Structure 1
Amino acid sequence: MKKVLIALLVALSVGIIVSVIYNIKQKKELNVLEEGFALQKEELEEEYSQIALQYEGYGMKIENDSLFSLYENEKMKVQNLLEELKAVKATNATRISQLRRELETVKKIMRSYIAQIDSLNTVNQQLKNENEEVNRRYMEVTSTVTKLNAEKKALSETVRIASQMNASQIVVNLLDKKMKVTTKSKKAVKIQTSFILSQNKTTKVGKKWVYTRIYKPDNSVLVKSEGNVFRYENKNIPYSSKREIEYDGEEQSVSIYWDIEEYLPVGDYIVDIFVDGAMIGEKAFSIKK
């Protein structure tokens, strides 16, 4: 009986030891599995984090509004999946496996977006380069046109000056009724302005109007009528006398007259002479008693 009891105790002890050893082994294997699951989850989280960072980086390169909207939606999806992955237990192998498959899909979508972004950016850069080239050429053309206009204006001014005639040897006399020179204002009936119109081969030949403006001592102009005006420096100004001549480009003598029909005060006078809208000479003279 004693031997049987001892045998039972030994068998029970062996069973307990075997059970303990088995439990320890099972626990170790479970720990190994849990560590493996945790490592896999950590690696998966790292991959999701990298994808999220890439989405952040490429987002700043998108200039197309429609593509940017789609891109932002996908970026939010990645963020949500990453948050879910962080919350799920490492032992939830089924969900982690699903999230891994989701990651592969996300990677494919991102590669597609990156390709579109790079393509659009390349096209945009080409368009910018073309636009810059167009602007550069436009500025060059504008600069050239401005320069040509300035040169044309300068040339026109040179031609205008070159073609401008000149009045020399200007003489102003008072004439009496017999058309003789007099120094007595009471006998004077005309003011005669005589001059030599210079030779000029560059000016246009043909009929030309010669105008005079006679300034009295008070600086007012002798005028017969308010309608007696001509163009000078883009405005109408009054003239005292005018005469039409036939100009052939050669030097010629010209005389033009003012009929005295009013009282002319004693003092200093000035005569300005104009042809083709330009003042070609002036002469001061005096009227005495």
Structure 2
Amino acid sequence: MANKNNKLIIAAGSLLILLLIGVTVLLISEKRTNYELTQEFQLEKEDLENQYTDFAQQYDELKLTVSNDSLSVLLEQEQLKTQRLLEELRTVKSSNATEIRRLKKELASLRKVMVGYINQIDSLNRLTAHQKEVIEDVTRKYNAASRQISSLAEEKKNLTKTVTLAAQLDATNISVLPTNKRGKTAKKVKDIVKFKINFTIVKNITAETGERTLYVRITKPDNDVLTKNASETFSYENRNLAYSIKKYIEYTGEEQTVTVYWDVEEFLYAGAYRVDIFSGGSLIGSHSFTLN
């Protein structure tokens, strides 16, 4: 009987030892599993932190590519939201799986929003690039048109100048005969009482017909102009010039000879003299002569 009780005690003890060993193994296994889960959650948390940090930096880069003020404000708001969630994540314990999952879902939402903004920015950039091309094309066409207009204006100016030159009168065969009081050619300066000036207005079918005014200037060797009244002037190249003789003619477009006279009432001396003939604000002929 005693022998049988001993066997029962030994069996019960062995069973208890086996149970203790089993529980110990389970506890060690669970601890190891918990440790591994904790490490996994920690790694997942660190990965989330890195992703949130990258997102915040990407918003900085995106804002540099945007010139639209409204879009810049929206990007700023999303960046602040990202930074706020990052701060929340940093305060969450690695073992708090619920919060980590929530923040992981928030990150997925942020990713979708960012993709939408990237697409919108790309679209705006393409539109801006197209607008830039259009502006550059319009600018090129405007510059080309401006150059063409300038060229046409210059051609018109030159043509107008050519037509003006072609239409102006031309005095040729200019001669000056100094005469004495008997109407003969004066041999000496002191004997000159009159200048007889002859010239020819050439034929010009492009010139306007009708009454024309001719101005004759006789210039002495010292460039002083022979004139009866210094206040009697005509306009030439934006200035007023005194004249010696004023002559009206009826121009028909055909060649005609003109003769004018100057009565010498001033002191003359030997040297080189010059006669200039003007009409319509243009110099139409010149002639130099010498008195001995």
TM-score range, shorter chain: 0.7 to 0.9
**CA offset at residue 171 of structure 1?**
0.9
Q: If the length of structure 2 is used for normalisation, what is the TM-score?
A: 0.86
Match of 2:68 in 1: 64
Match of 1:278 in 2: 282
Q: Deviations over 1:57-89 (max 9, x none)?
A: 433321112321321232233244335435533
* 1:172 matched to 2:191: no
Match of 2:165 in 1: 161
Which deviates more from structure 2 when the two are superposed, residues 31-40 or residues 15-24?
31-40
Count of residue pairs brought into register by the alignment: 288
| Residues 217 and 244, structure 2, Cα contact 8 Å, conserved in 1 | yes
Q: Deviations over 1:182-235 (max 9, x none)?
A: 334444332221111111112222111111221112122122223222122232
- Indicate which of 11, 14, 17 corresponds to 2:18: 14
Q: Deviations over 1:136-179 (max 9, x none)?
A: 11101101011101111221222233223322221101234565
* 1:130 matched to 2:127: no
| Residues 211 and 251, structure 2, Cα contact 8 Å, conserved in 1 | yes
Match of 2:123 in 1: 119
* 1:110 matched to 2:111: no
Q: Distance in 2 between matches of 1:207 and 1:27?
A: 127
Q: Distance in 2 between matches of 1:86 and 1:179?
A: 126
| Residues 190 and 268, structure 2, Cα contact 8 Å, conserved in 1 | no
Q: Distance in 2 between matches of 1:213 and 1:85?
A: 103
* 1:92 matched to 2:96: yes
Task: Look up the SS of the partner of 1:204 in the other structure.
Answer: coil
Q: Distance in 1 between matches of 2:30 and 2:96?
A: 19
Percent of pairs with identical residues: 41
Which deviates more from structure 2 when the two are superposed, residues 199-208 or residues 139-148?
199-208
Match of 2:271 in 1: 267
Task: Look up the SS of the partner of 1:100 in the other structure.
Answer: helix
Task: Look up the SS of the partner of 2:95 in the other structure.
Answer: coil
Which deviates more from structure 2 when the two are superposed, residues 271-280 or residues 11-20?
11-20
**CA offset at residue 243 of structure 1?**
0.6
Match of 1:257 in 2: 261
| Residues 218 and 273, structure 2, Cα contact 8 Å, conserved in 1 | yes
Q: Distance in 2 between matches of 1:252 and 1:181?
A: 24
- Indicate which of 197, 209, 227 corresponds to 1:193: 197
Match of 2:225 in 1: 221
Q: Distance in 1 between matches of 2:28 and 2:271?
A: 139
5+ residue gaps, structure 2: none
Task: Look up the SS of the partner of 1:68 in the other structure.
Answer: helix
* 1:44 matched to 2:48: yes
Q: Distance in 1 between matches of 2:124 and 2:30?
A: 57
Q: Distance in 1 between matches of 2:227 and 2:94?
A: 112
Task: Look up the SS of the partner of 2:225 in the other structure.
Answer: coil
Task: Look up the SS of the partner of 1:165 in the other structure.
Answer: coil
**CA offset at residue 9 of structure 1?**
4.1
5+ residue gaps, structure 1: none
One-letter amino acid matched to 1:100: K
Match of 2:37 in 1: 33
Match of 1:141 in 2: 145
Task: Look up the SS of the partner of 1:223 in the other structure.
Answer: coil
